[in-house]
Amino acid sequence: MIKKGAMYEHNFGGTVFVTKVTTSTVEFRNQSIPDMEFHEKDEWKLETFIEQFSYVAG
């Protein structure tokens, strides 16, 4: 399960900090993902986030 307050790494590198998790979405802040057009804060569908990110710490 995705955890609020944890760091996750994108498949292509770079990390995000999860700020909110619901049963269907994950809200996060971009920490260090270059070359991708992420907003400062973004929200993705939970299943999309799980496919593209892996747990780092937190």
Evaluate whether 27 touches 43 at the Cβ level (below 8 Å): yes
Please, are residues 18 and 1 in contact by the beta-carbon 8 Å criterion?
A: no
pLDDT tens readout for residues 21-34: 999 999 998 877 66
**Residue 43 sits in which domain range?**
7-57
Q: Is residue 35 part of a domain?
A: yes
Let me know if residue 2 belongs to a domain: no
Q: Is residue 21 part of a domain?
A: yes
- What total number of domains does the chain contain? 1
Q: What digits encode the pLDDT tens for the residues 12-22?
A: 888 899 999 99
Work out the pLDDT band at 4, boundaries 50, 70, 90. Answer: very high
pLDDT tens-digit profile of 33-44? 665 555 578 899
Three-class DSSP category at 34: coil
- Kindly state the percentage of the chain with pLDDT values over 70: 88
Return the closest-CA partner of residue 24 out of 41, 48, 45, 6: 45
Q: Which string of DSSP letters, residue by residue, matches 2-14?
A: --TT-EEEETTS-
Let me know if residue 32 belongs to a domain.
yes
Q: What pTM, to 2 d.p., does this model score?
A: 0.82
